[in-house]
Amino acid sequence: MTRAEHAVADAHRREWAVVLAATVRVTRDLDLAEECVQEAYADALVSWTRDGVPARPGAWLTTAARHNALDSLRRAKTLRTKLHLLVEPATAETELPADPVVADDRLRLIFLCCHPALSAEAQVALTLRLVCGVPTPDIARAFLVPEATMAARITRAKKKIAAARIPFRLPAPATLPSRLDTVLTAIHLLFTTGHTAPSGAALADDDLAGRALALARVLRELMPGEREVAGLLALLLANHARRAGRSTTDGRLLRLAEQDRSRWDRGAIAEAHELVVVALRGGGPGRFAIQAAIAALHADAPRYEDTDWPQILELYDALGKVWSSPVVALNRAVAVAMVDGPAAALAEVESLEGDPRLSGYRYLPAVKADLLRRLGRDADAAAAYERALGLTANDAERGFLAGRLAELS
């Protein structure tokens, strides 16, 4: 990869949301803004290869994208009617707190994408696509739907925002809680996409996960009294703290039992623990608070053998009551295997195989394969590992599954 190619890729990871948000201010049209930003990145590759990488890549891209937007408006002969949109109306900014951290354009973009006029799934998908530039195929994998279905869903959502003239600004403080769950879901799914990349050579995209963590911190500043916000931040911190120990230097995936816990970020784990206490205090906890408590128990154990599996199983039971999800049921089965044995867990996993929501979920056959292997059913385990391999596009995960399969052979 050339220096220019590396700089463009890095700018895409770091600057995409900021550049897109600045362009939306001009176009007030998400489709047009996204096209202009994509064109700016394409122009950057040519220009930076020829002239060198600028000192401020983000500013270069923002200027180029806004120029593209203005040119497009002129070509459409609508510039005259759009001129008043080039300046933010005073009323838009008066609704925003003065704190510059709160007035983060990425967060504005998230709340725009998470408008209640859109379906919950469309809100999350649109956030991943526009705020983070996650490719549509990867979003489709995260939602377990075909790529064409996800592309159509995102297109419809953008058209609905345009038709409803939804403004690009943070909503009034009184309306923030009504949009909170979807915003939290979007940030969590963004983190999950970075924590274990749906495809590619590396196990994780730490930059993407880091951006999700930064957004969770901004949201915590915006809504310090919301326990679920504290829960989300705790969950992300506890999981991100393990990033250094999740794979070897050559990229081989390490199971939780194999990880060197001295490489975990103890400062982040301590912060997560404090936030878990806040999230669980004062009434019934929400789904992010409970997930954070589970992650904290894993992170607090000095050794894998010290993991408090009975308490984790109790927390999964509580999580299932507030968030009925087949993925939660599958994760609970892993805890069941550690408490009641692999045979009991296998029965629960097999009961999930008929759920269409898990038909393309790679971890279902992977968990089943591990349970079958532990029960000595090697032929059945091999078949399950083969199914998991067929659903997995991440090279590190594929290497792990192939290694397991080779052991059985």
Tokens found for residue 168? 């690009």
pLDDT at 351: 96
3-state secondary structure of 217: helix
CA distances from 211 to 17, 113, 194, 214 (A): 10, 17, 9, 5
pLDDT at 122: 86
pLDDT at 269: 97
CB 142, CB 150: distance < 8 Å = no
pLDDT at 308: 97
Q: What is the pLDDT along the chain (409 residues), one digit of tens a residue?
A: 788 998 998 888 778 878 888 888 788 778 888 899 999 999 999 999 999 999 999 899 999 999 998 888 887 655 455 444 544 443 333 233 333 333 466 777 877 888 888 887 888 888 888 877 778 888 887 777 889 999 999 989 888 888 877 776 667 777 777 778 888 988 898 899 889 988 888 999 888 888 889 889 888 987 888 999 999 999 999 999 999 999 998 889 999 999 999 999 999 999 999 999 999 998 889 999 999 999 999 999 999 999 999 999 999 999 999 999 999 999 999 999 999 999 999 999 999 999 998 988 999 999 999 999 999 999 999 999 999 999 999 999 999 999 999 999 7
Single-letter amino acid code for the residue at 56: R
List all residues 6 or more positions away from 379 whose beta carbon is below 8 Å from its beta carbon. Answer: none
Chain centre distance of CA 43 = 28
Q: What is the DSSP string of 324-382?
A: --HHHHHHHHHHHHHHH-HHHHHHHHHHHTT-GGGTT-THHHHHHHHHHHHTT-HHHHH
